[in-house]
Structure 1
Amino acid sequence: MSPEARQEDLERHGLAEEPDGYLLSLRGFQAGMRAARALRDQGDEEAVRLLALDASDPLRWEYARCLQIEAFSRSGI
């Protein structure tokens, strides 16, 4: 995958690559929360627990970031 295509894919998932890892944008958080709700609807207990947290809770943001990194990884990188 070209660097340009990789950057587009990162942006599509709401991620930015930094020296210390991936940063999650608000758009990425929203996409991660949609994925978490889908997991919750399938009975995923971790998603149930984390969706019960306040939206400003750092754990909820970290969960969304992990879901987006996983989705990005599956997209062909």
Structure 2
Amino acid sequence: MSPEERQEALEEHGLTETQDGFVLSLRGFQKAAQRAWALRDEGDEEASRMLALDPDDPLRWEYSRCLQIEAFSSEVRR
């Protein structure tokens, strides 16, 4: 994957890479919510618990960040 393709993938998943790791944007949070709803529909209990949290809850943001990092990593490996 070229650096340009990698940057496009980061943007697509709503992530920014910093020296301290990945930062999730509002767009990334929204995309993660869509993914969490799909996971919940498949019976994922963790997704159900996270979606029950207030959108301002830091734990929900961290869960969303992890979902997007996982999706980004999968895309990079392909």
When normalised by structure 2's length, the TM-score is 0.95
Asked if structure 1 preserves the Cα contact closer than 8 Å seen for 2:6 and 2:76, the reply is no
* Runs of 5+ unmatched residues, structure 1: none
Match of residue 26 from structure 2: 26
For 1:16-73, what per-residue CA distance to the aligned partner results, in whole angstroms no more than 9, with x for missing partners? 0000000000000000000000001111010111110000000000111000000000
Distance 2:41 2:15 in 1: 25
| Overall identity of the aligned pairs, in % | 69
SS in 1 for 2:50: helix
Q: How many residues align?
A: 77
Match of residue 10 from structure 2: 10
SS in 2 for 1:43: coil
Higher helix share: 2
RMSD: 0.7
* Runs of 5+ unmatched residues, structure 2: none
SS in 2 for 1:54: coil
Superposed structure 1 runs of 4+ greater than 2 Å apart: none
